[in-house]
Amino acid sequence: MAHQDEKRMMAAACRYAYSRFVLNYDLFYETAFSEGEKASEKLMRFREKFQGICGRFLGREPFLEELSRLREGLLQEMEILTAYVDYFEVFEYVINRLEKRFSDEKPVSVNEEELVDEIMGYLVTGQDTAWQSEQIRAILGQLPIRFTKAKFFSILSHALSIYEGTGRESLRQVVDMLRREALLSIPEDMAEGHKTLQDLLIPFQKADFKTLSREEFQNLQNGLSLAQEILYSETSDGMMMVDLVNDLYVIGLTRGETLMDSQEEGLYRTILTKVHCSVMGEEEVSEEEMGQLWKQMEGRQERYYQQWSRYEMKDLELDLNIQKDSPYYDSLRKAELLLSTSSFMSLEEEQEPAEEILLSRKAVEEMCDQLSGDLEKAWKTMPKQVVHALMARLLSRLPMFFTHSDELREFIGGCLSSCTDVAELASSAELIREIMESDNALV
Whether 386 is in a domain gets the answer no
Write the pLDDT tens digit of every residue in 192-214: 888 999 999 999 999 999 999 99
Whether 440 is in a domain gets the answer no
| Global confidence as pTM | 0.90
| Confidence at residue 442, expressed as pLDDT on a 0 to 100 scale | 42
Whether 373 is in a domain gets the answer no
| Confidence at residue 357, expressed as pLDDT on a 0 to 100 scale | 75
Q: How far apart are CA 379 and CA 388, in angstroms?
A: 10
| Confidence at residue 1, expressed as pLDDT on a 0 to 100 scale | 44
Q: Give the list of residues 6+ apart from residue 359 with CB closer than 8 angstroms, or none.
A: 163, 164, 165, 166, 167, 168, 171
Task: Give the pLDDT mean for 363-372.
Answer: 95
Q: Answer yes or no: is pLDDT of 353 > 70.
A: no
Whether 101 is in a domain gets the answer yes
Task: Give the pLDDT mean for 210-220.
Answer: 95
Whether 385 is in a domain gets the answer no
Structural domain count, the chain: 1
Q: Answer yes or no: is pLDDT of 36 > 50.
A: no
Q: Please write down the long-range contacts of 222-229, taking CB distance under 8 Å and 24 or more positions apart.
A: 224/88, 224/91, 224/92, 224/95, 224/200, 226/200, 227/84, 227/88, 227/197, 227/200, 227/201, 228/88, 228/92, 229/38
Q: How far apart are CA 304 and CA 312, in angstroms?
A: 12
Whether 57 is in a domain gets the answer yes
Write the pLDDT tens digit of every residue in 52-110: 999 999 999 999 999 999 999 999 999 999 999 999 999 999 999 999 999 888 888 89
Q: Answer yes or no: is pLDDT of 349 > 60.
A: yes
Whether 21 is in a domain gets the answer yes
Amino acid at 331: S
Q: Answer yes or no: is pLDDT of 144 > 50.
A: yes
Task: Give the pLDDT mean for 347-360.
Answer: 74
Q: Answer yes or no: is pLDDT of 249 > 70.
A: yes
pLDDT band at 351 (very low <50, low <70, confident <90, very high): low
Whether 70 is in a domain gets the answer yes
Range of the domain at 88: 1-145+189-342
Characterize 86-121 residue by residue with b for buried, 16 or more Cβ atoms within 10 angstroms of its Cβ, and e for exposed: ebbbbbbbbbbbbbbbeeeeebeebebeebbebbee
Q: How far apart are CA 155 and CA 160, in angstroms?
A: 9
